[in-house]
Amino acid sequence: MLPSVPNVGKFLGELPFAGPETFSDARFDDIVGKSRALQKVLEQVVIVAPTDSTVLIQGETGTGKELIARAIHNLSSRRESKFVCMNCASIPTGLLESELFGHEKGAFTGALMQRRGRLELADHGSLFLDEIGDISLELQPKLLRAVQQQEFERLGSARTIQVSVRMIAATNRDLPEMIREGSFREDLFYRLNVFPIFIPPLRERVEDIPLLVHYFVSTISRKMGKSICEIPSGVMDAMMEYPWPGNIRELQNVIERSVILSRDEVLTAPVLEVQASSPLSPVKRNTLQGVERQTILDALRSAHGKLSGPGSASGLLGLKRTTLQRKMERLRIKREDYL
């Protein structure tokens, strides 16, 4: 059974301003929160971790997909072996195949020695492929074979290498939409999507924000050699009302900047600092849904109603066009509301 409140970090309980709802679970180190939305994710992690099934983690940028992938690995029978990460978006397309499968000496210009790829390094462990939607169509059939058959060849070699790897993939993109557009293989999607886990954005788990703020203030101030014991209520209120389009990563960056600015034991984070962290500077609303609706309206007005492409509302919000359209339908946003 999961605890009623998941882990809020080993440092949080030491804070003088930490509330009573601070519990720890060693299975979920560094995962902070007590919301039902987060508990549901962790329940799914506990269910799937003991199996060797492939997992597809979906969620917006900055929601903590790698932390969930690590939790799956740490709760599995492979936890004594390596957890290997690979961000498919950060590696140039021409080098991606070599990084994933490895290469032999002389396989291409600059290949001065044999090199093992991430897939081979993860043998008997887990391989986390982040931003899986950025893998090219040309490479996807080879990845599909590796996922299905657990075998591959290094670049420049005809020798088949067998491995035993637990595959965990993650994306912030709409893969079914990419399939319809012809930029992602349907068979690869179904092979990766054996057990899907969706991580909700921070604006849908507002009750976790105070715990995250306390946790980041504690850990970051320790690293900087500072002692911050108080967070003004106005600062916390502003952070609770802000929609955080960059999710937990954006919150962490704002807290780090605030700790740098703080000269005493009180956190210095003016409301304007929080609002200025997004180019949209959305106005406050009494409800989370109201904040989300107003943020989308501001983006649509700034983009003059343009939904996709350069300078579009979806670009400003960091969303796929289809995701934005679904949100507009749910929030009953009509053309006359922003034009």
Instruction: Choose among 42, 43, 6: nearest CA to 26.
Output: 6
Under 8 Å CB-to-CB from 240, ≥6 apart: which residues? Answer: 206, 209, 210
Task: Name the strand (E) or helix (H) holding 54.
Answer: none
- Tell me, what's the pLDDT at 19? 37
Alpha-carbon distance 42 to 48, whole Å?
A: 10
- Tell me, what's the pLDDT at 289? 67
Q: What is the Cα 265 distance to its own chain's centre?
A: 31
- Tell me, what's the pLDDT at 240? 87
The segments of the chain whose pLDDT lies below 50 read 1-24, 272, 276-286
What single DSSP character describes residue 26?
A: G
- Tell me, what's the pLDDT at 14? 36
What single DSSP character describes residue 133?
A: G
- Tell me, what's the pLDDT at 88? 93
Under 8 Å CB-to-CB from 138, ≥6 apart: which residues? Answer: none
**Structure-block tokens of residue 186:** 């349907």
283 contacts 300 by C-beta, under 8 angstroms? no
- Tell me, what's the pLDDT at 279? 44
Alpha helices in 202-312 (DSSP H): 209-223, 233-241, 247-261, 271-276, 288-302
Question: For the whole prediction, is pTM greater than 0.85?
Answer: no
CA angle centred on 180, ends 119 and 183, rounded to 5°:
40
Alpha-carbon distance 189 to 164, whole Å?
A: 20
Q: What is the Cα 16 distance to its own chain's centre?
A: 30
- Entry field: residues in the chain: 339
Which one-letter amino acid corresponds to residue 36? R
The secondary structure of the chain in percent helix, strand, coil, rounded to multiples of 5, reads 45, 10, 45
Strands 83-87 and 102-103: unpaired
- DSSP bridge partners of 167: 127
Position of tokens 């991430």?
A: 118
Under 8 Å CB-to-CB from 182, ≥6 apart: which residues? Answer: none
Instruction: Choose among 192, 210, 236: nearest CA to 9.
Output: 210
